[in-house]
Amino acid sequence: MQLRFQPYALHFIHPFGVSGNTRTSTISVFVEIGDGDVKGYGEACLPPYLGETEAATVAFLHAARPLIHSASSGANFTELLLRIDQLQQGCNAAKAALDMALNDLAAKQKGVPLRRYKALPEVASKPTSFTIGIDTEEVVVQKIKASADFQILKIKAGTGHDKELISLIRKHTNQPLYVDVNQGWTNKHMALEMMQWMADKNVVLVEQPMPKEQLADMRWLTQHSPLPTFADESVKRLSDLEQLDGAFNGINIKLMKCTGVNEALKMIQYCRNHHLQVFLGCMAESTCGTSAMAQLMGLADYIDLDAPQLYKNDPFTGLAYAHGKIHLGQGAGTGATPLPGLFGNL
């Protein structure tokens, strides 16, 4: 089998103007694994907050290349992915890209969508939230108006001005809110007071209210909170879940954190066995990475997969958004197809 990859700058759409500290682009490394005429695609999305660099990602892909090149057609990709994972610690985004590409390839070789290849529940469409980042009051209002098509909003909180932001949003819309605090509340009593205040503001869930180090405080908060709590920064992989016992009501699973579809499915199974809700999220993946995660949406309680809406030069097609929902096609694999020439220069 053959491995090719291509670093690529994804440029953000800025319909509301670019504020001073806003990034204008982000880097993804796209991966193609070919077995004869059949090709599978994956993405390592590398926003700065993930802490994984383009250089380290490319180096990992070079290191994984001999394993992929020596794999025979029809090989056991689950075994191959375990060997790739053991090459070194970390590089979870690069591992996720290879996992997606091999799963895409395997499903295409069977001629079925990835969800059918993995025997997952069929869901044709599902509402996704639309994220409204921290910004000026004027821009927040513009974003609320622009997101009227979406049935759920996700907001970034934890800035010290959370009540002002939610009150502002509630002046303009009563859409349900997912509130992502990004570890921003450090006092458990203040955190509980905030969650009690939010409980009658049509807030559905609160993500990572407290720093990941404050696990005992998180247990107390989840026990007393009127709203469900979800872990994000507190968990990357399956091996992180056991220590969180009782600290959250659910888990935000992202392919870039957990090394890909195979491990995400194990984490979902763990959640089902431990009465944890499942939230499928993303970093800032294009249609390539988001399509892979969207194949799992039949297993999710909530999804936040709006990232492809952020880009003006998405190099993949295949995912449809309409009326605030993701609609899956019937294409084989993840359903994502690269624009011609994306891998042509290598």
Residues that bind Mg ion (CB under 5 A): 180, 207, 232
Q: Closest approach of Cβ 48 to Mg ion, in Å?
A: 15
- Alpha-carbon distances of 2 from 34, 56, 68, 69, 193, rounded to whole Å: 5, 20, 7, 6, 55
For residue 167, the number of C-alpha atoms closer than 13 Å in the C-beta half-sphere is 6
Token digits of residue 18: 């670019």
Q: Closest approach of Cβ 236 to Mg ion, in Å?
A: 12
**CA–CA separation, 48 and 245 (whole Å):** 29
Between 104 and 232, name the residue whose CB sits nearer to Mg ion. 232
Q: Closest approach of Cβ 232 to Mg ion, in Å?
A: 4
- Alpha-carbon distances of 115 from 26, 144, 229, 268, rounded to whole Å: 28, 33, 28, 14
Q: Closest approach of Cβ 305 to Mg ion, in Å?
A: 13
Between 95 and 254, name the residue whose CB sits nearer to Mg ion. 254
Token digits of residue 107: 């499903």
**CA–CA separation, 105 and 323 (whole Å):** 31
Between 207 and 314, name the residue whose CB sits nearer to Mg ion. 207
Between 4 and 254, name the residue whose CB sits nearer to Mg ion. 254
Q: Indicate the residue whose CB is closest to Mg ion.
A: 232
- Alpha-carbon distances of 236 from 55, 212, 274, 339, rounded to whole Å: 21, 11, 17, 31
Phi/psi at 125 (nearest 5 deg)? -155, 160
Between 41 and 178, name the residue whose CB sits nearer to Mg ion. 178
